[in-house]
């Protein structure tokens, strides 16, 4: 059976491919009111793409409960998931923002035999600093103090965030109570990096 697409670990097979695939791309303009004239529009940016997928699962081909549980677990992890189609085209990173479940046929004990789900995805485009900050904070936490070590040469596959620079001694003028400003502090002291 061919694969229609993959969202993270969730596979959509041709037999249970989405019955509906709808994509919305919006574009944001700011409206500026002008005295005694019509409002003016100013282009800001494209909005994030939103995709609605409606798919069905039948007990003869897969476990509807397991597929639905995987979908809900993926949504509750709050991680962006790659959306890749069976032809190899990569659509981007998406987060699940809504799931609607419909059980069309169930066994006498309540086990779903035929289920449909509507999933709303929103494109995820993290800013580099937000992404790195959240990732490093989650991985490292308070276990490892962060700092860039200028003494270690760059090596492929090795992070520069491996050591905390030694504290810099206070200058005599700062110890004497004098005001410290940008003219009294060298760039090596301020940046902890020789230029």
Considering just the CA atoms, what is the radius of gyration of the chain in Å?
Answer: 27
Summarised one tens digit per residue, pLDDT across range 95-142 is 999 999 998 888 899 888 888 888 999 999 877 655 565 555 555 444
Domain boundaries, the chain: 3-125
Q: What is the pLDDT of residues 28-63, one digit of tens each?
A: 999 999 999 999 999 998 889 999 988 888 888 888
Which pLDDT score is estimated for 161? 45
- Higher local confidence (pLDDT), 55 or 75: 75
Taking the model in full, what pTM does it have? 0.58
Cβ-count burial of 112 within 10 angstroms (0-12 exposed, 13-18 middle, 19+ buried)? Answer: buried
- Alpha-carbon distance of 74 to 66, in angstroms, equals 12
Under the banding of pLDDT at 50, 70 and 90, the label for residue 16 is low
Domain spanning 3-125 has what CATH number? 2.40.30.200
Q: Using 50, 70 and 90 to split pLDDT, how confident is the model at 21?
A: confident
- Give the per-residue pLDDT at 146: 42
Q: Count Cβ atoms below 10 Å from residue 186 Cβ, excluding itself.
A: 13
Distance CA 35, CA 65 (A): 60
């Amino acid at each position: 059976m061919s694969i229609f697409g993959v969202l993270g670990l969730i596979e959509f097979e041709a037999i249970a491919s989405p019955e509906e695939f709808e994509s919305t791309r919006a574009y944001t303009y700011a409206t500026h009111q002008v005295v005694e004239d019509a409002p003016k529009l100013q282009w800001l940016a494209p909005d994030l793409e939103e995709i609605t997928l409606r798919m069905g699962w039948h007990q003869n081909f897969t476990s509807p409960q397991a597929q639905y549980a995987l979908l809900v677990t993926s949504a509750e992890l709050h991680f962006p998931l790659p959306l890749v189609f069976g032809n190899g085209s990569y659509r981007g990173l998406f987060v699940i923002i809504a799931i609607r479940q419909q059980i069309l046929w169930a066994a006498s004990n309540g086990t779903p035999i035929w289920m449909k789900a509507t999933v709303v995805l929103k494109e995820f485009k993290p800013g580099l600093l937000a992404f790195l900050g959240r990732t490093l904070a989650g991985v490292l936490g308070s276990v490892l103090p962060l700092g860039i070590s200028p003494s270690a040469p760059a090596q492929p596959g090795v992070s520069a965030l491996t050591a905390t620079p030694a504290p810099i001694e206070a200058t005599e003028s700062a110890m004497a109570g004098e005001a410290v400003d940008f003219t009294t502090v060298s760039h090596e002291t301020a940046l902890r990096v020789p230029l």
